[in-house]
Structure 1
Amino acid sequence: MRAVRQCTRSACDRSAVATLTYVYADSTAVLGPLSTSAEPHAYDLCDAHAGRLTVPRGWQVVRLASDFVPAAPSEDDLVALADAVREASRSGPHHTRPAQRPGSAVPAPVTHHLPQPADHEIGRRGHLRVLQGDGE
């Protein structure tokens, strides 16, 4: 699923709608619609910062679009979400909170299984690990 990218300007928490790249050899800044993926040498900007963009004296700005609007969720986003849910359901038992009685003020306790020395890693996804435990 495509995550909503934020404006790269400091202290701005708006959603990005445009991507800014520089062509240093031509002294040109190119401002276009939001790229499909985050690039390390590009800057994602919100509509306010894209509209107020200024460049150094002697540089040119090429605007590939005049109106920047947030991208709507696509069918690919829904398919990716469905695939993620299917994968999570196949990954084994889930620890959920027990149902709480209506009107009770104290939430039910949540217990977590911490890796023990006997646990060993059987899979990995990004920074998360799947551990084989003793079944407790």
Structure 2
Amino acid sequence: MAHRRCTKAGCSTAAVATLTYVYADSTAVLGPLAPEHIPGSYDLCRTHCENLSAPRGWEVVRLPEIGSTPPPVPDDDLLALANAVREVGMLPEEIPATPVTGPADPADQADIVVLAEKRHLRVIADGERPRG
């Protein structure tokens, strides 16, 4: 990850926090440095974080963990689902039936088979309908 600099004019110190404004709530939110630059937000150094003030009538919310390492960018669920579907297409014709477990009525699940699982996502098929 490239190090980002404070966006305050004339400051070249490394940024440690991201400032965003919630105009509807008249709130300025100062939190840990975002993993990526967010349009409309400001990256600030420690000094500018400590000296931050908001306009009259606005509230400043300071989230914990400022200056800590930003969290990794999470994997996209849509990408994980696409990969699971792609893997199913590469599987042999005969897929062993794995019953789906969950809060649904067991009678409704009798004809459902799990084709593939990837983390918390499942590719399922109706056992009565032909696949392909």
Aligned to 2:33: 34
Give structure 1 stretches of 5+ with no counterpart.
75-136
Aligned to 2:48: 49
Amino acid across the alignment from 1:37: E
* Displacement of 1:51: 0.7
Match of 2:66 among 42, 65, 68: 68
Matched positions, count: 71
Amino acid across the alignment from 1:6: R
Give structure 2 stretches of 5+ with no counterpart.
73-132
SS in 2 for 1:48: helix
Amino acid across the alignment from 1:69: G
* Displacement of 1:40: 1.2
Give TM-score scaled by structure 2 length: 0.50
Conservation of the 8 A alpha-carbon contact between 2:33 and 2:67: no
| Coordinate RMSD, CA, aligned | 1.7
Looking at structure 2, the residues matched to 33 and 70 of structure 1 have their Cα atoms a distance apart, in angstroms, of: 7
SS in 2 for 1:30: strand
Per-residue CA deviation, residues 9-42 of structure 1 (Å, 9 max, x unaligned), is: 0000000000000000110000000000001111
Runs of 4+ in 1 over 3 A off after TM superposition: none
Conservation of the 8 A alpha-carbon contact between 2:32 and 2:68: no
Looking at structure 2, the residues matched to 71 and 13 of structure 1 have their Cα atoms a distance apart, in angstroms, of: 19
Amino acid across the alignment from 1:13: S
Per-residue CA deviation, residues 55-104 of structure 1 (Å, 9 max, x unaligned), is: 00000001112x632538x8xxxxxxxxxxxxxxxxxxxxxxxxxxxxxx
